[in-house]
Structure 1
Amino acid sequence: MIPVIEVGGTHVTAGLVAPADGAVQRRTHRPLDPGARAEGILGAVCRCADALDAPAGAVWGVALPGPFDYARGIGLFAGVGKFEALYGVDVRAALFAGMARRPGRIVFLNDAHAFLLGECSTGAAVGHTRVVGITLGTGVGSAFLADGRILYHGPGVPPEGRMDLTTVDGAPLEESVSRRALLARYGDPGADVRDIAERARAGERPARRVLDEAFGTLGAVLGPRLAAFEATALFVGGSMAGSWDLVAPALHTGLAKGGWTPDAADVNGRPPTRHTRAMRPAALAGDAALLGAARAVAARDTNRREPGW
């Protein structure tokens, strides 16, 4: 069994993954405050890991968002609205010191990369060879994958493979598409994104307009990149993907305006094939990143460098 952790903007999840079939056989979940002090954030991660009761000396996979030095295990969060207290912090050393059963090693990887790798292994991306994954939550995560490799440059690929480094009208993309962007545009200090979604479904026009503008903008920025990348599929994960009925229409419209039109039949539910331009929500939900993190550990333990890490 491979123990893994996925750190999100508002939660942390740990799981035990069976390497033979990729099944998550046990999982624990804890809320996480991205604005907390370093000891609060790392304490929540350690408590979640300890609840999994993995053996001492195990090799752990840890998927978490950037900016982060994944080779050294050091946080680089600055100006991204989350985990600012971890800037310059040696997260690897903190986990070694804070977990009740000390790991043997820790393998870090980007959470959006883990998400797409998980979907490619047993999820919605099976059968596609040039795919893009986007995670929508506190920010925008991204992964560009071709023939099993995570790419950081090339036609259509943004700087460092990160859509959060792209701009819209001179401003960072996350000023238009992120949790904080949606809340700022909606203007109700007592609302969260879940509230905006519920009000949009109930027919409230300002709520629907905020969502349509955000996801339409994302599609318009992504469309030209997907076309240049020659992607056959776009897969969307993260907490906002749970409101796919609200995300999909505006995202589809934006992608088409940007030059990459998803197959209409696929949008309406036909299973994706390598011959369609598929736009799909995550099939594995929260398990995708756990599976991707386990794949990273398995690749390292067989002395095979997984492309892109």
Structure 2
Amino acid sequence: MEVYAGVDVGGTNIVCGLVSSSGDVVYQIKRATEVSKGPDAILEKIAAMIEEAAVAYAEQSGVDISVTAVGIGLPGFVDPEEGIARFAGNLGWRNLPAVQKLQARLNLPIYIDNDVRTYVYGEAMYGAGQGYKDVLGITVGTGIASAVVNEGKLFYGFRNMSGELGHIVMEGLEDPCPCGLHGCLETYASASGMVRQALKALRAGEPSILQSWFPDDKLEKLSAADLSRAYDLDDPLAKSILEKAGTLLGRALSYAVPLVSPELIIVGGGGALAGDRLLTPLKEELYSRILPDYREHLKVVTALNNDDAGVTGSAMYAKQKYCSSSM
């Protein structure tokens, strides 16, 4: 059986899956990234996970497994043409020849790209974006990033640096961003940004049910999911944070829509689990700021395969690259 391996690499976990040629995830495993062990140890773990998955699925299914190619989604700036991870801050990588090292270890075609691009590619082609030609995808997680898929092809821009929507500087925001700017969208509207805003307000004494859930010595355990729980109990602080985050996201997307003219916007990542709590203000702000000709033909939805899109997208990206190179 011919399969493609898709690997989604994060600062905390690595998820590796085997995906059929039709885009179905047939086997999947997850391991801790262990960033402190360094890049070579992480690359070895990726290689070992691919081998482990192939053996385990062959035993489980009772059929011979052949991994045709491997696709890997990496955080940060990636040069897919040269196969180099230019900069991944949360992994501590800079100018790492990831493809060269993994090909030497696995003797398989290896293709890498930015993890958000592979995630959006998976959702656009095999998830919520099926049937649409022009898709803009956005992930709301530790940070915020986006990608565009046009008729099955990813858009990259100069130096492969398109999609950094989270680093649009928004009027009215002043918090410093690790990128060096102040007031970036993701300082407030990412999942981690919303938590930071909640912590800041709680420490300033703003009333909230969250104070009883998380006394001072437990505040650091607060998560974006807790904000959604509090929102559902009409907590004013949680509602204010989620509604403002949705509004800011809608405003930022209103800048992107006239540039790329998508017919569908997909919102994914951990922040998308907030659902309509985030999407309702997002849509209200977005639709109020774009021309009717855009608004009347634009849908905004959450990701269909939020957990698997990174693996599916990486594997199917590898399939697309492999098939193109074989023609």
For Structure 1 versus Structure 2, the TM-score category normalised by the shorter chain is 0.7 to 0.9
SS, match of residue 160 in structure 1: coil
Relative distance call for 1:149 and 1:171 in structure 2 (3 A) is same
Select which of 223, 226, 229 maps to 2:257.
226
Give the Cα separation in 2 of the matches to 1:139 and 1:46: 27
TM-score computed with the length of structure 2 as normaliser: 0.74
1:282: how far off? 1.1
Superposition pairs of residues 108-187 of structure 1, within 5 angstroms: 108-153=112-157, 160-169=162-171, 171-187=183-199
SS, match of residue 62 in structure 1: strand
Q: Which residue of 2 aligns with 1:6?
A: 8
Contact 2:74 2:85 in 1 (8 A): no
Contact 2:165 2:252 in 1 (8 A): no
Relative distance call for 1:198 and 1:110 in structure 2 (3 A) is same
Select which of 270, 281, 284 maps to 1:250.
281
Deviations 1:125-147 (A, max 9, x none): 12222220111111112111222
Q: Which residue of 2 aligns with 1:195?
A: 226
Corresponding letter in the other structure for 2:5? P
Q: Which residue of 1 aligns with 2:299?
A: 278
Give the Cα separation in 1 of the matches to 2:164 and 2:309: 19
What residue ranges of structure 1 are gaps of 5+ in the alignment?
265-274
Give the Cα separation in 1 of the matches to 2:30 and 2:291: 37
Contact 1:220 1:257 in 2 (8 A): no
Deviations 1:30-75 (A, max 9, x none): 3446x74535755664554344136798521101222223334433
Give the Cα separation in 1 of the matches to 2:46 and 2:142: 18
1:295: how far off? 2.1
Deviations 1:133-173 (A, max 9, x none): 1111111121112222322459xxx9623313422236332
1:221: how far off? 0.9
Give the Cα separation in 2 of the matches to 1:205 and 1:103: 56
Corresponding letter in the other structure for 1:175? T
1:28: how far off? 0.9
Which one has a larger percent helix, Structure 1 or Structure 2? 2
Contact 2:145 2:163 in 1 (8 A): no
Corresponding letter in the other structure for 2:232? R
Contact 1:159 1:165 in 2 (8 A): no
Contact 1:63 1:289 in 2 (8 A): yes
TM-score computed with the length of structure 1 as normaliser: 0.78
Give the Cα separation in 1 of the matches to 2:196 and 2:290: 29
Does 1:299 pair with 2:306? Answer: no
1:96: how far off? 5.5
Deviations 1:253-287 (A, max 9, x none): 221243268999xxxxxxxxxx7311111112222
Give the RMSD, CA atoms, in angstroms: 3.3
What residue ranges of structure 2 are gaps of 5+ in the alignment?
56-64, 172-181, 200-218
Give the Cα separation in 2 of the matches to 1:69 and 1:136: 23
1:90: how far off? 3.6
